[in-house]
Amino acid sequence: MHEVDLGLDTFGDVTIGEDGERVSDAQTIRDIVEQAVVADQVGLSFFGVGEHHRHEFAVSSPELVLAAAAARTDSIHLGTAVTVLSSDDPVRVYERFATLDALSHGRAEVILGRGSFIESFPLFGYDLKDYEVLFEERLDLFSQLLREQPVTWQGTTRAALAGADVYPKTEHGITAWVGVGGSPESVVRTARYGYGLMLAIIGGAASRFRPYVDLYHRSLDSFGRDPGLVGIHSPGHVADTDEQAWEELYPAMEANRNAIGAERGWPPYSRLQFQHDVGPEGAVYAGSPETVARKIAATVQTLGADRFDLKYANGTLSHGRMLRSIELYGTKVAPMVGELLAAS
């Protein structure tokens, strides 16, 4: 039997309330904490909060939101989705997550990435021409910091360290992943440092990522690393029926895709595209509990994944609908996925 953990991710999308008005950033952040509490209550394994620096998303400091969630939850692991390491300082990232790990009694995880947006680079004074070297050097330094021993390090994008010790120390270390969008170079780098591989599958069939999973495992072996974990991050929404889930999700996704797409030159999002995305060959896991469970189980089997994180917050989807989605995901989808995997 292949067992899989089920988790949730949010970027802190600023939503529309039941009255049709835009919810404040402050209320959105408070709502995220409530969503984490419900996720813990229904027995889910992970709750991730992404970092962004734009008006569609309320969370620019995920660790603070996760610390608030840590104080109100008992079992669920808490982490990012993702931490934009390229425009942050690895020492401060380690310190913040070590602190979160203490507050949560060892439940902190970090998913490192370059992010899909670039606002943080000019905001914090970084040049986009250094995009690659910033991530490479910071990942290298962070890898050394995770050993929790004095670090001597030198690079080109920040001050050198000579025997620097960093605090606080954790009790059992921090679980760390790298979020990968699908480049072979990123997969090999993830394996070289021994991180878990978190695949962001936001378009197309999951099966096209199987070569990346195989490359990851081969690379781990070639580098002499221990076997690693494979995770999946994909958007979705759960409601009582397929039709209800699709009718609730489409307007929210359409608003979000079109707002971002206007900046990136994407064509307008359509019902036709949406129906493909929620189908067997699409990357959106939306529908009734049975529909979502079957699609997750098929993806887990195809990729041999250890964790599946549903990005449950999508555009302007309301807080109430997200809470219901979380409830169904934990109480209905998770048991069904376990049964389907056991039966296979």
CATH of the domain at 198: 3.20.20.30
159-198 burial, b for 16+ CB within 10 Å, e for fewer?
eebeeeebeeebeeebbbbbbbebeeebbbbbbbbebbbb
What does the pLDDT average to over 15-39?
95
pLDDT band (50, 70, 90) for residue 182: confident
Range of the domain at 65: 5-249+281-343
Which pLDDT value is given to residue 17? 87
Distance (Å, rounded) from C-alpha 259 to C-alpha 135?
Answer: 27
Contacts of 312 (CB under 8 A, 6+ apart): 8, 9, 10, 35, 236, 237, 238, 322, 325, 326, 329
pLDDT at 186 over 70: yes
> Mean pLDDT throughout 62-68?
98
Residue 129 lies in a domain: yes
What's the whole-number average pLDDT of the chain? 96
Q: Radius of gyration (Cα) for the chain, nearest Å? A: 19
C-alpha pair distances (Å), 245 with each of 179, 298, 312: 27, 20, 12
Residue 73 lies in a domain: yes
State both tokens at 279.
Answer: 């189908």
> How far, in Å, CA of 35 to CA of 49, rounded?
11
Confidence of residue 2 (pLDDT cuts 50, 70, 90): confident
Q: Is residue 264 part of a domain?
A: no
For the chain, percent of residues with pLDDT exceeding 90: 95
pLDDT at residue 299 greater than cutoff 60: yes
Residue 56 CA to residue 259 CA, distance in Å, equals 9
Is residue 75 situated within a structural domain?
Answer: yes
Tell whether 115 is covered by a domain: yes
Is it the case that residue 116 has pLDDT exceeding 90? Answer: no
Distances (CA, A) of 184 to 116, 190, 209, 217, 283: 17, 10, 10, 12, 20
- As a whole number of angstroms, the distance between CA 230 and CA 198 comes to 6
Other CB atoms within a 10 A radius of the CB of residue 48 amount to 28
Asked if the structure places residue 335 within a domain, the reply is yes
Residue 245, pLDDT above cutoff 70: yes
Mean pLDDT of 47-75: 97
The alpha carbon of residue 48 and the mean position of all alpha carbons in its chain are separated, in whole angstroms, by 5
Asked whether residue 249 carries a pLDDT value surpassing 60, the answer given is yes
pLDDT at 43 over 70: yes
What total of structural domains would you count in the chain?
1
Q: Residue 217's pLDDT band (boundaries 50, 70, 90)?
A: very high
Looking at residue 235, its pLDDT comes to 98
Residue 339 above 60 pLDDT? Answer: yes
191 vs 194: CA distance, rounded Å = 5
Question: For the residues 71-80, what does the mean pLDDT come to?
Answer: 98
Give the model's pLDDT for residue 1: 56
Half-sphere exposure of 240 (CA within 13 A, CB side): 0
Please say if the pLDDT value at position 247 is more than 60: yes
Does the residue 339 lie in any domain?
yes
Kindly report whether the global pTM for this prediction surpasses the value 0.85. Answer: yes
Query: Out of 112-116, 168-172, 186-190, 229-233, which region has the weakest mean confidence (pLDDT)?
Result: 112-116
Percentage helix, strand, coil, to 5, in the chain?
45, 20, 35
The confidence band for 118, taking pLDDT boundaries of 50, 70 and 90, is very high
Give domain status of residue 305, yes or no: yes
